[in-house]
Amino acid sequence: MFSMFTSPQKLHAKGIMGMNKRNGAYIGRYNDRSKYPLVDDKLKTKIIAQEHGATVPKLIGVIDQQAEVKRIHAMVKDWPGFVIKPARGSGGKGILVIISHKDGVYIKPSGQAINEQDVERHISNALAGLFSLGGQNDVAVVENLIKFDDVSFDGYSYEGVPDIRVIVFKGYPVMAMMRCSTAASDGKANLHQGAVGVGLDIATGRAVRAVQFDLPITHHPDTDKPLSGLVVPNWEKLLVLASSAWEMTGLGYMGTDMVLDKEEGPMVLELNARPGLAIQIANGAGLLPRLQHIENLGTPLNYPTPEERVAYAAKQFASKPRF
């Protein structure tokens, strides 16, 4: 539907938003830069989300000095699985997922075993800013491993937890996709590394289209599971949680990244003040008509609740499968 060879005129006619339009008309206009630290720092995001009653992955601990790096082993000894993230990392860089460990041997989702020194080196690199925005010194956030809903998503993701990106504009969910990990993406839900992007109907949470490396696909490349059958459970609850990120941060245009935990349900993973535009390719639809629709609503005195905004978006932005 869209490709790198499509003319700008055709993209504009389909309502596809480019980076310049996004930066000037939406990020620059609706996002107060003073609020960026709330979403650029995963630790701050976790704190404000909890203050607003949102469910987030449990915090195991924080390492903020090189002298504390070796503490990691004692910190996680009672946790079967855990995740280490740079607080100010970007694009999924620097995330280390450990599904089990014993006697100083740590197992990644791929089955690869690493040792204590490997884990310490990863944290040391995170503290040095190797994975962070602007290369600044950072802190390492250690979280409990999410128990993702493997019944609902069996075969849709390979060696990793799928996540859901929702674009929220003025508190309304306008577009969504699921990012499913693959062998190419090394078990990470990162589209640039080869994860599958599955566009989702805002009304139902059903798959409408799927892409890998910006090209349409119909089946998961590793499991051969038909992607057209994907349906996200607890969809309305997930969208309400995503939409409430507007109240949490005050950012008018953002990406909310969610996961579905088997026991806890929808969780806020992180928030993004500069969400990418590949979600349009995954959905086979442009963001601009939806954003302009919300802009035309104005700002009523009694602003709708997250539940009301989700219900409105479901009626306005429902879409049909394009497989």
Predicted pLDDT of residue 5: 46
Taking only the tens place, the pLDDT of each residue in 17-29 is: 999 999 999 999 9
Identity of the amino acid at 170? K
Tell me which residue of 282, 281, 275, 257 sits closest to 267, measured CA to CA. 257
pLDDT exceeds 60 at position 4? no
Give the integer Cα–Cα distance in Å for 318 and 306.
Answer: 17
pLDDT exceeds 60 at position 208? yes
Percent of the chain with pLDDT over 90: 84
Mean pLDDT of 277-305: 96
pLDDT confidence band for 149 (50 / 70 / 90): confident
Mean pLDDT of 224-242: 97
Taking only the tens place, the pLDDT of each residue in 234-254 is: 999 999 999 999 999 999 999
Q: What is the mean pLDDT of the chain?
A: 94
pLDDT exceeds 90 at position 296? yes
Give the integer Cα–Cα distance in Å for 45 and 37.
Answer: 9
CB count within 10 Å of CB 224 equals 9
Give the integer Cα–Cα distance in Å for 291 and 157.
Answer: 30
Bridge partners, residue 107, by sequence: 100, 113
**Is beta strand 172-180 parallel, antiparallel or unpaired with respect to 163-169?**
antiparallel
pLDDT confidence band for 7 (50 / 70 / 90): low
Q: Domains (ranges, CATH) in the chain?
A: 8-54+149-316 (3.30.470.20), 59-144 (3.30.1490)
pLDDT exceeds 90 at position 176? yes
Q: Which residues contact 113 (CB under 8 A, 6 or more apart)?
A: 105, 106, 107
Higher pLDDT, 159 or 20: 20
Q: 3-state DSSP call for residue 322?
A: coil
Instruction: State if pTM tops 0.85.
Output: yes
CB 288 within 8 A of CB 201: no
CB 322 within 8 A of CB 284: yes
